[in-house]
Structure 1
Amino acid sequence: MTTLFDSYQLRGLTLPNRVVMAPMTRVRAGAGGTATPSMATYYAQRATAGLIVTEGVQPSAVGQSNPGTPGLYTDEHVAAWRPVTSAVHANGGRVFAQIMHGGRVSHPDTTGMRPVGPSAVPAVGDVFTPTGPQPAPTPRPLDTAEVPGHAQSYATAARRAVDAGFDGVELHGANGYLISQFLSSNANLRTDRYGGSVPNRIRFAVEATSATVEAVGAARTGIRLSPGATFWGVEEADVPQLYAALLDELARLEVAYVHLEATVGDDVLLDLRRAWPGTLIMNPVLPLGPKQTGRAEADRWLGLGADLISFGRAFIANPDLVERLRNALPITPVDESTYYQGGDEGYLTYPAYQYTA
């Protein structure tokens, strides 16, 4: 029987266990979106995970969603990330950068630019800005000729990630950001080759992934997806058909893994598991929902055919989460008020489990 603590071969990368640290926005980047020494410490503290996937990293200035997030589109960004990847590797870890283009989930006060998206349809809700939450603005719809450049931005960032020492990259195709917006049937109202039918709505995701595979290789390319999710007001028609078609294209590209979120019923997720021939990372509970992933949820999905299990919030307050899961030690609760406050408090201040005599 497969357990969380069995090793796994991820396309030539040996993972000592099947616990994945999920990407989580922490808004601790320095000026201009540079990685910091505190970020190196944060990720190195969690290097016992089989695989770390970083917070979302913007591939361009217009792709930035939140203030305080890191980038991978300048030489300065690459140089700032190298101490982070070196620290993780020195502690025996493996780390992928999540490449995240926010699309319409952004604000001019954050980037100095009007956000872009598939169509002139604003996200639902308030977006974070340097002066606090503000209503999401109406994005500028991308011209057909512009779309391939934004797909290519993922590949360009991936090359920089590899230059910075990352073991690979994960394209953020989930949670209402740019790839997810193109998959959507209400954020994407296009009538060109990128909108309308299922083959057209998956086209941007496929082009971004294909470009990244060409840039850094399939073994270094994963993608995260949230079938049927409604983050930031996105809706998706024909969810089973949409994702079956997308997985078919991803299988053709032979990407390293697909990272699914539990944003739709088990019946659909299990059909997607059966349809996907490669490595599946499963995030077993709804991101930012009322429940955190624990050992029971992880074991259940390993039994249902997942290869690796991602844990999000539990990793914030438990840098030694793998040991705690292995030895049934208490899981420290996280202080939600420190998620996005900046600084080292609630970031580097959670200790490993303290054994007593």
Structure 2
Amino acid sequence: MKLTIPPPLSLYIHIPWCVRKCPYCDFNSHQIRNDFSENDYVAALLADLEQDLPRVWGRTVHSIFIGGGTPSVLSPEAIDTLLSGVRSRLPIIANAEITLEANPGTVDSVRFQEFYEIGINRLSLGIQSFNESTLQRLGRIHGHIEAIRAIELAIQAGFNNFNLDLMFGLPIQTVDMALEDLHTALTFNPSHLSWYQLTIEPNTLFYKHPPLLPDDDLIWEIQKAGQQYLAEQNYFQYEISAYAKSGHQCQHNLNYWKFGDYLGIGAGAHAKITDVAQGTTTRYHKQRHPDIYLQSANNPITSCTILTAEDIALEFMMNALRLFEGFTTQEFTESTSLNLECIEKPLQKAYAQGWLISNLEHLKNAQEKSLQEIQRIKTTDNGMRFLNDVLELFVP
């Protein structure tokens, strides 16, 4: 089977600077310097976008995500120039979701108001915790008061669609402490919550000097208690670490998880682009270090790889199995142009382990649609807990 139409297209924009690098962060982020020029970086982003345009001629952007780093270190004027430049180069659907990540330590009422007025319609606030001592252990530049104040200012500025980032499994954290963070967050009625486990990654300060974290059993207890509490408050879990009110899933991230296409501009950004005419899916990576990126914005690509059928199948599964709804066989075929038979062996192993489940047996008598269209495969609770082991089965 050959794809006839390309998947939905999103745009990711990376801002690599932070006021201070957090000890747990392994993202491409750098402490901002005194000689930093936001105008130069915005100009480089637009030059980067220019050289990407031939790859997506005629296609429309469905969502924009400005991430980092800490994008809110840029002024509203710089973000306005950036978005205006994007709009003049790419068609964007009406009412497209445009998200900006913000750190509570880098915002004020005027800044939030101006972000809202220039077209940012979704904020993602990096709270991580409301516990003062925990925030200090995490090396955050904000405290409890700043976290509360940032949320209040966002609401006052007009943002009714916002995400709060929180972590669990934090140093010396208990179940009660984790639930208190969630309770505090939900008093502000956010439309979306990202609640994810702190993991110790290589090339971080925490990797060199590990903090004392809860053991695996306690982390699992925290996770189950938090999931139950959020469900009781009508926040449904649709992905491993994503919870939303009905109708408020993050459209940009959903496009990733449903194997959509995306442009990526900025230092260290990467992209996945499908060429229907050529029948190829290609992944691109941009220069990682900001200084080198600024010098090469007219040609910032460091690598481009045409994905093999095995790569495509693995990447589809790595994304789709994160979603609690899983995927249908039709979605797999339409997104990858592959037949399900190519992953049948690992699927059977995952079924046998109780990690995946299919509704095929319940569809034997279905008449209104073919089984190919409505068969759904999804991860079980145990599969979600051991997702890395599940995905290992699909590695070529």
TM-score after normalising by structure 2 = 0.41
TM-score after normalising by structure 1 = 0.45
Greater strand share, structure number: 2
Structure with max Cα Rg: 2
Greater helix share, structure number: 2
